[in-house]
Amino acid sequence: MSTPLDKKSSVQAIQKRFDNDVERFSNLTTGQTATIDAPLAMELITETAVAVTNPIKRILDIGCGAGNNTLKLLELVGSAECHLLDLSLPMLEKAYSRVIATGNQAIKLFHGDFRTVDLATVSYDVVIAAAVLHHLRDDRDWETAFAKLYAITAPGGSVWITDLIAHENPAVQALMWRRYSDYLISVGGSEYRDKVFTYIDLEDSPRPLTYQLDLLRQVGFKQVDILHKNSCFAAFGAIK
């Protein structure tokens, strides 16, 4: 990725792209074709949340999109108070309609940027952040956001993340990026690969999995775990 951090897409530009892409993200199995192993990662973070967190009364889905991860979690827990947060209002509206269709009535919407939205501390039994944290920028941004994740999580609660990641070693990064390129070509050809790489370069600033695990411990989480990693994507989390 060649675009420097201070030249990356603004929050408003990212919001606009997602405003226009609601339907693609409204399918539990095909909504994240640009993400390797997306259905598996979603299963792993939701099943693990249920395995380690009991009871699950209140959920926060950061960058909820059309609500896929919350819906998957509700399949396992039956019902819970669902708080949905997203930059895109059309995404939030779609997520709300899908979640309420499950019979869950306890739904609260937050339209905005996770970094600035006012959220109650020690409040959430499970926090999900799927394909969203890679939009964080410099070290201070990452540290502040992860400290907020810790602050809003209830004692005994857990945070689960699936995301695009970078690698510490340049040779490993090049290898994994080449493998990701091959995957995207297999899905939609070289034009699709180029399209995905273009918006990643403009919008995203992922950090290594190792960096994020260290940061989770640094902000206070007592246990961290890796659930899955394939090429430039990982599923992982932490327990407070």
| pTM listed for this prediction | 0.94
4-38: pLDDT as tens digits = 988 887 888 777 777 566 566 655 554 578 899 99
Residue 86's nearest CA partner among 128, 124, 114 is: 114
Question: How many whole angstroms separate alpha carbon 1 and alpha carbon 191?
Answer: 18
Quick one: pLDDT at residue 38? Answer: 93
Q: Which class is 5-239 in CATH?
A: alpha beta
Residue 233 DSSP code: E
Q: How many CA atoms lie less than 13 Å away from 41 in the CB half-sphere?
A: 28
Quick one: pLDDT at residue 30? Answer: 47
Q: What parts of the chain have a pLDDT lower than 50?
A: 30
Residue 181's nearest CA partner among 192, 170, 166 is: 192
Quick one: pLDDT at residue 13? Answer: 78
